[in-house]
Amino acid sequence: MNISELNTRFNTQEKCIAYLEWIRWDGIPVCPYCEHSDHIVKRREGYRYLCNNCNRSFSVFIDTVFEDTNLPLRYWFQIIMLMINSKTGISSCELHRQVGVTQKTAWFNAMKVRCAMLDQAEFLEGILEMDEAYLTGKQRHPRTKIPDNEPRLSRVQSKRGRGTQKVPVVGIVSRDSGEVATKVIEKLTSRNLLAMFRQYVKEDSGRSILITDEFASYKKFDEIVEHLTIEHQKEFSRGIINTNMIEGFWSLLKNGIRGNFRVISKKYLPFYLAEYSYKYNKRKQSDYGFDEVIDNAVEDEKCMVNYKPAGDVKKICYPKKKRKE
C-alpha cells in the first residue's frame, strides 16, 4: 500500500472505524465483555455500542492496541504504512516529521504497532539455518584519563562475536518458506537453543535439515535432527552447506538499527526484532502485510502501558505458538 491508496481508502475517521469493525467483527458487533452478539444496539451518536445483555457500552477499540487513543485513526494507519514500507526501519523522529505528530507520540504508537507485529513464523521445516548475532551498543571506555595518542570514546569498538558484552539474539530461517523466527537468548547453552528449536520446528516430520556453524552448543542437535556444520574459520560455503540466508537477515537487521535507530536498549530490543522479522516474513506480499497488522492490532491486547512493556518482554514478544496439525 502507498500514500495515494491510503489517503483514498482511509481519509476519514468513519472509514477507518468501519474498516476495523469489518476486520474484527465481519459486520456483526460482538460484546468484548460477555461475548454475545445478540441485543447489541448502536448508539445514535459516535461509534459506540450498547450491549443489553450485560448493559455495558463498548467500541471496536476495546482490548486492542488502539484502546484509549486520542489520535485519529488515519494517523495510526499512516504510521503503520510507513513502518511496513520502510524495509530497514523508520525512527520516531522521522515519523514525527512525516505524519505531523509529536516525537513522543510517534515513538509510543510505533511501539504499539510493533506489538501488532508479534507474529513469528509458527512452523518451520525443510532446509533450516540457525545462527546467532550480537546487538545493542558500543563498549564504553574505562573511566580513566585518555592519553592524547589513545583512541577517543567514539572510536572505541566492543569485541565482536562470541565473548562480547552485547545481547545475543538467535535466529532460525527456512530456505523453503523464506520465513525467520528470532529470539533473545542471553545464555547460549544447548538447552536454551534446543528449546527455541522445538518451539518453531516440528522434529518428527523427518523433513528438516539444520545447518549451523561450528559453535559447541549446536552439537546436541545431532541427536534430534539431521545436522550439517560449516566451519567458518576454514570456509564460508560448501555447496548448499552455508548460513548465507540467516546472515543476510542479520545484515538487514544490523544495518537498519545502525542507520535508523543508532542504538536501542536491551529492554525494547525484542519489539524491534518482532518488527524486522514480520517485515522479512511478509516481504513477498503485495501489501507487505498491512491488513494482517490491522487484524493483529484489533485482536491483541495492549503490551505497552505508560511507555513501558505491560509485562515480561520475552513472554509478550514470544508467546508459545500452537503447532499445525
- In order, the DSSP letters of 253-311 are HHHHIIIIIS---TTTHHHHHHHHHHHHHTTTSTTTTHHHHHHHHHHSPP-EETTEESS
Question: Domain check: are 160 and 272 in the same one?
Answer: yes
Say which CATH number the domain at 271 has: 3.30.420.10
Residue 88 and residue 159 in one domain:
no
43 domain residue, yes or no: yes
Best CA proximity match to 273, nearest among 293, 299, 292, 252: 252
Residues 25 and 59 in one domain: yes
| pLDDT tens-digit series, residues 154-176 | 444 556 666 667 889 999 999 98
34 and 169 in one domain?
A: no
> Can you tell me the distance from the alpha carbon of 142 to that of 144, in angstroms, rounded to the nearest whole number?
6
Model-level pTM? 0.83
On whether both 155 and 264 belong to a single domain, the answer is yes
281 and 154 in a single domain? The answer is yes
Last residue of a domain, one of 115, 140, 161: 115
Position 296 in a domain:
no
**Tens-digit pLDDT profile for residues 107-141:** 999 998 988 888 666 688 889 999 999 987 554 44
Q: What are phi and psi of 135, to 5 degrees?
A: -125, 170
Q: Are residues 145 and 16 both part of a single domain?
A: no
Per-residue CA distances from 223 to 194, 202, 203, 210, 220 (Å):
11, 14, 11, 12, 6
Same domain? For 147 and 109 the reply is no
* Alpha-carbon 134 to chain mean position: 17
Q: Do 104 and 153 have their domain in common?
A: no
- What is the span of the domain harbouring residue 145? 127-285+312-317
Strand-pair category, 127-135 with 209-212: parallel
Is residue 24 classed as helix, strand or coil in its secondary structure? helix
Our count of domains for the chain comes to 2
CA distances from 12 to 15, 75, 218, 315 (A): 5, 10, 53, 36
Residue ranges of the chain whose pLDDT lies below 70? 119-122, 137-164, 203-205, 286-288, 300-325
